[in-house]
Chains A and B, each alone.
Chain A
Amino acid sequence: MQQFAFEMQDVSIRYPHFTLDNLNLSLPKGQVMGLVGVNGAGKSTTIRILMGLIKPDSGQVKALGYDLPKQQVAAKYEIGFASDDMRLYKTQTLQWHMDFIRSIYPAFDTAYAADLLKRFDLLAEQKIKGLSHGQRVKACLLLVLARRPKLLVLDEPTTGLDPVAREEVISELADILLDDERSVLFSSHNTHDIEKLSDHIAFLDRGKLLTLQDKESYLESWGRFRCQVTMDNSAHVAGAVSIKRKGQIAEVITDQWTQDYATQLQAAGFHVLEQHRMSLEEIFVANVKRSR
């Protein structure tokens, strides 16, 4: 039995204006990974390679034990994929789409689909062209979720949703956590959603993986300090990602936070006034700025 939901090894792909560079990314079964990065960082390319939609120039891709893209047909029965540019048939109803999906995927759970319709506040008999953007996103998710796939891959599932719809989607994703056989990979620039649900954080920037770590220790390794320094102190502190000064006040951000970091700062002449932990969003910005 394979231990990983998916594994990407040394995957590279080169486009005229974008290179995905030697990517190594894997997710243990039963866990949730959040893929974070700015627009154009390579999130969608990564997901497309993982889904077998793009063949990488080099490297190996396995999902649920299947080699991709070679065995993508077999793999797709167990993988659910939803992305922003997924097309539904405009002139058909949501019910028609549900019947269509059920004819292809025997695992389609009609009762769960009916349940999701209610919870997502959708109407089965409504035609796709009459749906709002948010309703269309929810309709796509419904079609994927109702198959109860072993691996769920979602490219920006909450983008463009209003807060209520987002909460509905997140709460359905949270329900997947009950099953230790099911894994989720989702990308988002909404760091808030990722921060809550993910076991692992993968950080992409300009086609490079900056970080792949379990969320708890990752969030814990970052910290921000507000310090008082003397005007002539230009010392650099080990482990500081950024130091910003204005007059006697300096803000120090570190990605190597420990209990003793404040003491280290004091020793370097930085008198610590306050320290805070950082949200994933703040870490995201600091991390991207540093790597560039």
Chain B
Amino acid sequence: MSYGLFLSTVDKKPMYLQIVEQITSKVLIGDWPADMPLPSIRELAADTQVSVITVKRAYLELERAGVIVTQQGKGSFVSARADLNQELKKQELEQQVDVAIELARQLQLSDDEFVQVVQQRLR
């Protein structure tokens, strides 16, 4: 059984984050519908050949982001929240902004200067 996650060790992102992002995208595009049971942590670990602790961490992050819900003793499921899609896109926007901020810091822009750049783009 394969769950269709494609992890890479040369990716700059840590393994757990790759799992978080790929599961999130499966949920976003609807391959993994609401209420679908997720593989158990050990199943996914064996399938992707990463350690149990890494998958556990990914599931915790997914739970925190509201992508999945975990029921004690029953396992994890894709969240059935109606606004999930909206929420995930909002999170993605925030991440993109963080990337932009990082670049601004590298350019030694002050916060005000950065806001100006954003305002210019908004016009």
Contact = CB atoms under 8 A, between A and B. Distances in A.
Given A174-B45, A174-B46, A192-B9, A215 B53 contact: yes
A170 B50 CA distance: 10
Contact of B51 (A32, A220, A272): A32
Contact of A216 (B12, B46, B54, B105): B54
B52 A32 contact: yes
Contacts of B9: 192, 195-196, 279
Size class of B's contact patch? 20 to 34
What bracket does the count of chain A residues touching chain B fall in?
20 to 34
A215 B116 CA distance: 42
Nearest to A32: B51
Contact of A276 (B12, B43, B57): B12
Nearest to B49: A174
A178 interface: yes
Interface of A: 30-32, 170-171, 174-180, 192, 195-200, 214-216, 219-220, 271-274, 276-277, 279
A271 B108 contact: yes
Contacts of B15: 196
B52 A31 contact: yes
Nearest to A30: B52
B19 to A, nearest CB: 12
A220 B12 contact: no
Contact of B43 (A178, A192, A198): A178
B16 interface: yes
B53 A214 contact: yes
B75 interface: no
A171 B49 contact: yes
Contacts of B54: 215-216
A170 B49 CA distance: 8
Interface in B43-96: 43, 45-47, 49-54, 57
Nearest to B47: A174
B106 interface: yes
Nearest to A31: B52
B18 to A, nearest CB: 12
Nearest to A34: B51
B49 A199 contact: no
Contact of B14 (A174, A175, A277): A277
Contact of A199 (B12, B47, B52, B108): B52
28 contacts: A31-B52, A31-B53, A170-B49, A174-B47, A175-B46, A176-B46, A177-B42, A177-B46, A177-B51, A178-B46, A195-B9, A196-B15, A196-B50, A196-B51, A197-B51, A198-B51, A199-B51, A199-B52, A199-B53, A200-B53, A215-B53, A216-B14, A216-B16, A271-B108, A272-B106, A274-B106, A276-B12, A277-B14
A220 B13 CA distance: 11
A83 to B, nearest CB: 22
B39 to A, nearest CB: 11
